[in-house]
Amino acid sequence: MMTTMRAIVMDATGTPDVLRTAEVDKPGKVNSEFLVKVIAAGINPIEAKTRAGRGISAAIASYPAVLGNDFSGIVVETPYEAHPIKVGDEVYGMSSFPRATGSYAEFLAVHSLSIARKPKSLSHVEAAGVPLAALTAWGMVVEVAKAHESQRILIHAGSGGVGHFAVQFARYFGAHVIATGSERNVGWLTELGAHQAIDYTSTRFEDVVSGVDVVIDLVGNVHDDTGSRSLGVLRPGGLIINAPTGSWPTFLDDAASAGLRATSYKVAGDGSTLAVISRLLESGDVRVFVDQVFDLDDAAAAHTALEAGHTRGKIVLKVSDY
């Protein structure tokens, strides 16, 4: 039996160059965990922030550390013999990084509550682009905003990983969707379901939008005070849901001062919700877009591409052969 595996590790936080390929101990499953052979792993902004010393880097207990949340792969070991998901089944989901080894590795031990069957219509590369982004979008749009007909929702960074799912979920549940993006993505946002797509490079969204019920803020104040400006386009008592809270630490107080509701959102790797999303992916009502695919050894280049800020949809690492 193999006792080691290839993985991308970092010995300290820093630039993408801190990521290197290494041979590390293969994880063993305990209790209700699955052991999964990882075929592909998604790349997410939280991982780049953590690698750089922000994000959840303070929770990393020891180094070298293996990053990664999203995975798609094949079951190697199950929690128990009669489990409905069997050895050899194709699954996808989220790891519990940094509490355990992340998904930038050939094998992953993952809790049974954080796993779902991979949609048959998706390749492993496509499936690896789904979990964290889609679950975040679902939580913000469906669970917190409770998207419905006649509701007006403004989604910032609509062409990104979380954003392209948020646009589709909001449209699926009947909301009037307004999305911001770069010039090259305006047409694509309309294809995804946005009723109005705004090129933020040429148009101030507050000049053409007002009276919205909900803002899905995936930018914060990291760029041009997008978060603060969003408060002015909400109706009285409207709701702003912010994901990158570190970029706008005063957003709760700022919203309250403006007479608005506000909350952050933190994603959970909920396999049951992911199974619901799987049905929308299988039916074609929702789709995932993978912009770039990198080999595992090129994880540093993948992080560099992500941090350039022009990704449409997701970036994925090809970890193993199927």
- Residue 322 has a pLDDT of 78
At residue 248, does pLDDT exceed 70?
Answer: yes
In the predicted model, what is the mean pLDDT of the chain? 96
Confidence at 2, pLDDT banded by 50, 70, 90: confident
Confidence at 145, pLDDT banded by 50, 70, 90: very high
Structure tokens, 33 = 């965990």
Cα separation, 262 vs 256, in Å, equals 8
Can you identify the CATH homologous superfamily of domain 4-130+288-318?
A: Medium-chain alcohol dehydrogenases, catalytic domain (3.90.180.10)
| Tens of pLDDT, residues 194-227 | 999 999 999 999 999 999 999 999 999 988 999 9
Cβ-count burial 227-250 (b if 16+ within 10 Å, e if not): bbebbebbeeebbbbbbbbebbee
At residue 245, does pLDDT exceed 90?
Answer: no
Q: Which CATH class for the 133-264 domain? A: alpha beta
- Give CATH 3.90.180.10 domain extents, the chain: 4-130+288-318
Hey, how many other C-beta atoms are within 10 angstroms of the C-beta on 215? 30
Cα separation, 197 vs 178, in Å, equals 6
The answer to whether 77 touches 34, Cβ cutoff 8 Å, is yes
- Residue 36 has a pLDDT of 98
Cα separation, 217 vs 163, in Å, equals 9
- Give CATH 3.40.50.720 domain extents, the chain: 133-264
Which H, E and C letters describe the chain, residue by residue?
CCCEEEEEEECCCCCHHHEEEEEEECCCCCCCEEEEEEEEEEECHHHHHHHCCCCCHHHCCCCCEECCCEEEEEEEECCCCCCCCCCCCEEEEECCCCCCCCCCECEEEEEHHHEEECCCCCCHHHHHCCHHHHHHHHHHHHHHCCCCCCCEEEECCCCCHHHHHHHHHHHHCCCEEEEEECHHHHHHHHHHCCCEEEECCCCCHHHHCCCEEEEEECCCCCCCCHHHHHHHHEEEEEEEEECCHHHCCCHHHHHHHCCCEEEECCCCCCHHHHHHHHHHHHHCCCCCCEEEEEEHHHHHHHHHHHHCCCCCCEEEEECCCC
pTM over the 0.85 mark: yes
| Tens of pLDDT, residues 164-188 | 999 999 999 999 999 999 999 999 9
At residue 27, does pLDDT exceed 90?
Answer: yes
